[in-house]
Amino acid sequence: MIRRALVALCAMAMVPLAACGGDEEESILDKDTLRIGVRYGLTLLSEEVDGEFVGYEIDVANYIAEQLGKDVVFVPIELDEREPKLLSGEIDLAIATYSITQERKQSVAFAGPYVIDHFDLLVRADNDEIATLDDLEGGTVCEVEGSNAIDRLTEEHGVDAVIRSVESYEECMGLVGSGEVDAIATDELGLAGLALDADFEAKLVGARFSQERIGVGMRPGDTAGCEAVNRAITEMYQDGPDGSASTAELLLEQWFAGTVLGDLSRFPIPQFEGCE
């Protein structure tokens, strides 16, 4: 009872805050401005054009921030910076092609997912040899450090391919264009943008070998913040009046209609991971 009374006293600010200890996690809900970590240089998803960030993920980030009533500062980050920058507090949210895995959940928290993506393979359009995952056996696949696509491919699906690790997708695309590597493995939303930018004709194999639930990375412990983000995403997927398309459908349509992705209606409503 004494401890509870002390907590209550702290809550009522009747004793100096220093006496209350700092173990209480700060919530994103207490901030006026959210620093959102986003990828950069990903066509259609997240890129900087004339000093402004644009793309599907940027729109999702803006929508969520607007629902929460917060201002946004975008912080461009690398794949392998997502976790450290979240944990160090440099960014408040990571909306950066961050797929939820049970393994990642051991160190960071996730709201969402806000979209269900699939891993697929991008190859040259004139490549007829690779039609399924198994055709990659003995071939070469390009990987960007920090992505989990290659783990899915080699560990989960047991594909025995040569892995070429580089630092950026542009590099990968150059290698596929020149024929040095056979394929790029990453999520299809990312591949749609890469295919659009390619200086060669590219296509998706359609292997869709993994389902990726793309979520909002958060610091662990902020349950209220995580739940508020989930509510924003729920709203995003809520049909418009008279059964018109939801914001989520409109955003997918706006960015990915007419790309290699094809039919967009197959994108499901995400089942949330749940906030712990």
Q: Given the rule CB under 8 A, which residues bind another protein? A: 1, 4-5, 7-9, 11-12, 14, 101-103, 106, 118, 133, 151-152, 155-158, 208-211, 223-224, 227, 230-231, 234-235, 238-239, 266, 268-272, 274-275
The residue among 2 and 49 lying less far from another protein, judged by its C-beta, is 2
Q: What is the rounded distance in angstroms from the CA atom of residue 20 to the CA atom of residue 130?
A: 62
The residue among 240 and 258 lying less far from another protein, judged by its C-beta, is 240
We find the least distance from the C-beta atom of residue 240 to another protein, in angstroms, to be: 11
We find the least distance from the C-beta atom of residue 104 to another protein, in angstroms, to be: 11
Q: Which stretch of DSSP H or E encloses residue 120?
A: strand 109-124
The residue among 42 and 261 lying less far from another protein, judged by its C-beta, is 261
Q: What is the rounded distance in angstroms from the CA atom of residue 38 to the CA atom of residue 78?
A: 8
Q: What is the rounded distance in angstroms from the CA atom of residue 224 to the CA atom of residue 272?
A: 15
Q: Which stretch of DSSP H or E encloses residue 140?
A: strand 140-144
Least Cα distance to 193 among 102, 270, 263, 255 occurs for 255
How many Cα atoms within 13 Å fall on the side-chain side of residue 138? 3
Strand 183-187 and strand 109-124: the pairing is antiparallel
Contact 111, 230 (CB under 8 A): yes
The residue among 177 and 206 lying less far from another protein, judged by its C-beta, is 206
Q: What is the rounded distance in angstroms from the CA atom of residue 201 to the CA atom of residue 196?
A: 9
Q: Mapping DSSP to helix (H, G, I), strand (E, B) and coil, where does residue 258 land?
A: coil
We find the least distance from the C-beta atom of residue 272 to another protein, in angstroms, to be: 5
The residue among 230 and 259 lying less far from another protein, judged by its C-beta, is 230
Q: What is the rounded distance in angstroms from the CA atom of residue 186 to the CA atom of residue 150?
A: 8
The residue among 28 and 77 lying less far from another protein, judged by its C-beta, is 28
